[in-house]
Amino acid sequence: MVRIKICGVTTPEDARFAAEAGADAVGLNFYPQSPRFISPQTAMSIVRALPAFTSAVGVFVGMQIRQVCATAFQLGLRGVQTYDEQPPSEDTFPFAHVPAFRVKDATGLDHVRRFVEAAKSLGRVPSAILIDSHVPGLMGGTGQAAPWELLRGFDVGVPLILAGGLTPENVAEAITLVRPWGVDVASGVESAPGRKDPEKVALFVKNVQIASAALFT
């Protein structure tokens, strides 16, 4: 089944609802320039609210990997999502590392391939890679779609998470084309930046599950 991450969660209530609706993970944004930015104190209240089998993943931009892992340890995160040009200088274990890439063309995919190969050579294979849309100056949550057709058949030997412009209305098409291991949504299920719409979240999860079931039958 295709895994589901609801990203940019800012309240315990939204986190609990996402989990109850069927999300596998929620994303907590620690990038100060994001409208979905939260403090470590808020993040802690969100993590405390999650059911036992729902993972919390931190989203970090421009932070040293040692500090990223220290934050993850402090908050009890399962994974860390980073936007970096090079593989981390240190091992992120026990935190799952998901490097994110803003892709607009084939050159962007070549960069992803080089990144993963370099990480493999260091013995630090990513747990997954996340492919997002490329919007100058913005790091995720843009509402613009990633290049689905370009990603058809793209495989670097690690699970692929598709992000960028996903909504309840288009996620089934995206899954059919790209066949990702997971999908990641932020703005596509919101009533306002950082505030999730329960109906949109529930419909998104439902449509992912339907599309996913069709792939594996």
Beta-carbon count within 10 A of 107 CB: 8
Which pair of structure tokens corresponds to residue 141?
């949550």
Inter-residue contact 49 to 84 (CB < 8 Å): no
> Which of 33, 29, 51 lies closest to 42 in space, CA to CA?
29
**CA–CA distance from 188 to each of 75, 155, 182 (Å)?**
26, 25, 16
Which pair of structure tokens corresponds to residue 5?
């991450």
CA distance 20 to 208: 15
7 is catalytic: yes
Q: Which of 7, 69, 84, 184 is catalytic?
A: 7
CA distance 22 to 5: 10
14 is catalytic: no
Taking phi over 0 as left and psi of -120 to 50 as alpha, with beta for the rest, 204 belongs to alpha
CA distance 217 to 214: 5
Q: Which of 14, 24, 84, 132 is catalytic?
A: 132
Q: What spatial distance separates the first Cα and last Cα of the chain, rounded to whole Å?
A: 11
Specify the 3-state DSSP secondary structure of 160: strand
Task: Cite the active site residues.
Answer: 7, 132
